[in-house]
Structure 1
Amino acid sequence: MLTLLWGLSALVLCTSCSENNDQITEPNSVEQTAETPWSKSVPKNVIEAATKLDLNVDHLRYDTFYFPDGTSEERLFIEEDIVMTEQEILALAKFTDGRQYATNNLVSQGRNISIIGYTGFLYGLSSKERNALSMAVNNYNSLSGVSISFTLTFGTNYQNKDMVVYRNPFQFGSGGSAGFPNNGLPHKWVQIYGLSSYNVDVIEHVITHEIGHSVGFRHTDWFSRESCGQNTNEGDAGVGANHINGTPTGYDATSIMLSCFHSGVNGEFNSNDITALQAMY
């Protein structure tokens, strides 16, 4: 999920997908007690699977994941904005073979992805967030040389949709969360939270970023998390982090898939993001 960061001179957010620099605060840190689900120890086989997938196990915990119908379940939160079940992460690790960086798990080529912006009570998107979602979907649909496309609707009948974008009112901080594709399908659940005070471009950025995870993108700064002011390696083998030809192997300061984001983002792909999408799809 994205978390709020403070830089020396600019507000930064962490998407982990998130993006930016300098000092990082932990607005979503909570004292761990026996009653909090994220105090549960992560089993060794799950840690090993995450390591095989080149995910940062320093940012691996259990927490409560909320669905738009108000139900919830315990899931693994990885690098703050990637959310998976134990079964999903173990299954992905079985089929790894092994930077812009993609995973080994992609959506089927040529697929039209049905995506719905949820409008129901409590978890529904605001009018500004709905506008940002429309802009994010247009970011993908306007690209040439990309075989996947999106059909966007708004409402509450999400059960038969490939992807659902909704607001989580219970999450601390600001940002979003998603997961990786599986069996040729995009990850279904895309959450955003804590974005009401930000402009539409920032919200567009967060949604575009999380949709990126849902169709197979890793963080472009997986090797350093430099956009978050960190110097840690998320791993390179695995859903692995596979370098996409024609894109930088070093830090790409304007990529929409950086781990953290700041309040000055414009919500648009840069040229390397576009090259990556065209290579993947």
Structure 2
Amino acid sequence: MKKLKFLALCAMAAGVVTSCQKDEITNDEQPVSLELSKDLQDKIWAAGVNPGNATIENVTLLNGIEEQYLVSGDIMMKLAEIEKGSYDLGVAEDGLTKQYRTNNLVSSSNRTIDILGFTGSGNALTSNMQTGLQWAVNNYNRISTTLNFRLTFGTNFQAADMVVYNNNGSGAGGQAEFPEGGRPGKFIQILNGTGTFGGSNVNNVNEHVIGHEIGHALGFRHTDYARRRCDNSNEGTAGSIGAINIPGTPTANQWGQSGLDSGSLMISCFDGSEDGEFSNFDIVALEFLY
């Protein structure tokens, strides 16, 4: 996977092990600098993503198709769609921090979601990842929404609406795509180190990470996107661009954390102590949207 570093004035700290985005993925090629046009940087901001320390990566997915993605933390966005201005991730109403969504949601006709835990050679989920995926899906199916996840384990990813697989990257965490065209983000990559992260709490950690990435694939932003708990960086609102507040969830000024739902599944960071469950306000947000 070739990685092209952005040259941008805006800075967002790269994830560390405690980030549920990702660690640096091991790769044999040295990063190549790519100077971005002002137009492309503006489109990245308009998509709700801070271009600082984001990367352009050539990602070969399970279907064998290689595409260029903008990767920022645990979010993957197709570069071609950004260049066309296709992403419209929303405008915040008041600049406050609560649960947030994008404008890219799953349409009412696509809410029975066939989700596959991939077990094929080379990208198979570990046993702990499989347990975490099962627990995460149970959590989504347990609450009162119009979403219905049908989980199977196997290799027929072509037929699935959402595919969770081990991308063999170093560190712990994952990456996901936002919904597109009314369908959920299809490919969810889990870093190999997630399978052993958290010691005796490893299954809960995998439940948390995978549940979190499924949240992105349904259209959720990070609860603390305006000031990430782990590094205090702003993920990319460009003032008011980038997220829509979900009614009924708690607020906090974006430069303070007094009202932050710190137990939210969609918090940007994790440290291995997570229980993998939704907070009460996560449930409020899911039931409001779906």
Indicate whether the TM-score tops 0.5. yes
> Secondary structure of 2:165's match?
strand
Report deviation, 1:15: 2.1
Report deviation, 1:87: 2.2
Residue number in structure 1 paired with 2:16: 4
Residue number in structure 2 paired with 1:264: 273
Counterpart of 1:117 in structure 2: which amino acid? Answer: G
The answer on 1:202 being equivalent to 2:205 is yes
Moved more, 213-222 or 107-116: 107-116
Residue number in structure 2 paired with 1:123: 123
Please give the per-residue CA displacement for 1:221-246, whole angstroms capped at 9, x wherever unaligned. 011012x13243521644x3111111
Report deviation, 1:89: 2.7
Name the CA distance, whole Å, in 1 between partners of 2:206 and 2:282: 18
- Is the alpha carbon distance of 1:87 and 1:142 closer, same or farther for their aligned partners in structure 2, counting shifts above 3 Å? same
TM-score of the pair, normalised by structure 1: 0.83
Counterpart of 1:141 in structure 2: which amino acid? Answer: N
- Any conservation in 2 of the 1:52–1:93 contact (CA below 8 Å)? no
- Is the alpha carbon distance of 1:45 and 1:113 closer, same or farther for their aligned partners in structure 2, counting shifts above 3 Å? farther
Name the CA distance, whole Å, in 1 between partners of 2:32 and 2:205: 29
Q: How does 1:85-100 map to 2 (within 5 A)?
A: 85-91=78-84, 93=86, 95=88, 98=91, 99-100=98-99
Report deviation, 1:137: 0.6
Name the CA distance, whole Å, in 1 between partners of 2:43 and 2:89: 10
- Is the alpha carbon distance of 1:117 and 1:233 closer, same or farther for their aligned partners in structure 2, counting shifts above 3 Å? closer
TM-score of the pair, normalised by structure 2: 0.80
> Secondary structure of 2:265's match?
coil
Q: Which runs of 5+ in 1 are unaligned?
A: 6-12, 19-26
Residue number in structure 1 paired with 2:108: 109
- Is the alpha carbon distance of 1:124 and 1:72 closer, same or farther for their aligned partners in structure 2, counting shifts above 3 Å? farther
Report deviation, 1:37: 5.2
Report deviation, 1:30: 8.0
- Is the alpha carbon distance of 1:63 and 1:276 closer, same or farther for their aligned partners in structure 2, counting shifts above 3 Å? same
Q: How many residues end up aligned between the 2 structures?
A: 257
Q: How does 1:24-103 map to 2 (within 5 A)?
A: 28=24, 36=30, 39-68=33-62, 72-78=66-72, 80-91=73-84, 93=86, 95=88, 98=91, 99-103=98-102
Name the CA distance, whole Å, in 1 between partners of 2:32 and 2:184: 26
The one of 212, 216, 235 aligned to 1:213: 216
Residue number in structure 2 paired with 1:222: 225
Name the CA distance, whole Å, in 1 between partners of 2:61 and 2:185: 14
Name the CA distance, whole Å, in 1 between partners of 2:90 and 2:268: 24
- Any conservation in 1 of the 2:63–2:158 contact (CA below 8 Å)? no
Residue number in structure 2 paired with 1:23: none
Please give the per-residue CA displacement for 1:21-62, whole angstroms capped at 9, x wherever unaligned. xxxxxx52889x9x5455333443332122112222223211
Please give the per-residue CA displacement for 1:75-133, whole angstroms capped at 9, x wherever unaligned. 2112x111121123345646566440000110012610111010001101112211111
- Any conservation in 2 of the 1:101–1:218 contact (CA below 8 Å)? yes
Residue number in structure 2 paired with 1:22: none
Residue number in structure 2 paired with 1:154: 153
Counterpart of 1:142 in structure 2: which amino acid? Answer: R
RMSD: 2.5
Counterpart of 1:232 in structure 2: which amino acid? Answer: N
Name the CA distance, whole Å, in 2 between partners of 1:207 and 1:61: 22
- Is the alpha carbon distance of 1:86 and 1:69 closer, same or farther for their aligned partners in structure 2, counting shifts above 3 Å? closer
> Secondary structure of 1:104's match?
coil
- Any conservation in 2 of the 1:53–1:237 contact (CA below 8 Å)? no
Name the CA distance, whole Å, in 1 between partners of 2:160 and 2:26: 34
- Is the alpha carbon distance of 1:229 and 1:163 closer, same or farther for their aligned partners in structure 2, counting shifts above 3 Å? same
Name the CA distance, whole Å, in 1 between partners of 2:32 and 2:57: 5
Moved more, 258-267 or 244-253: 244-253
Report deviation, 1:174: 1.2
Name the CA distance, whole Å, in 2 between partners of 1:200 and 1:125: 13
Counterpart of 2:137 in structure 1: which amino acid? Answer: V
Report deviation, 1:3: 4.4
Residue number in structure 1 paired with 2:257: none
Name the CA distance, whole Å, in 1 between partners of 2:177 and 2:158: 17
Name the CA distance, whole Å, in 2 between partners of 1:94 and 1:191: 21
> Secondary structure of 1:57's match?
coil
Report deviation, 1:161: 1.1
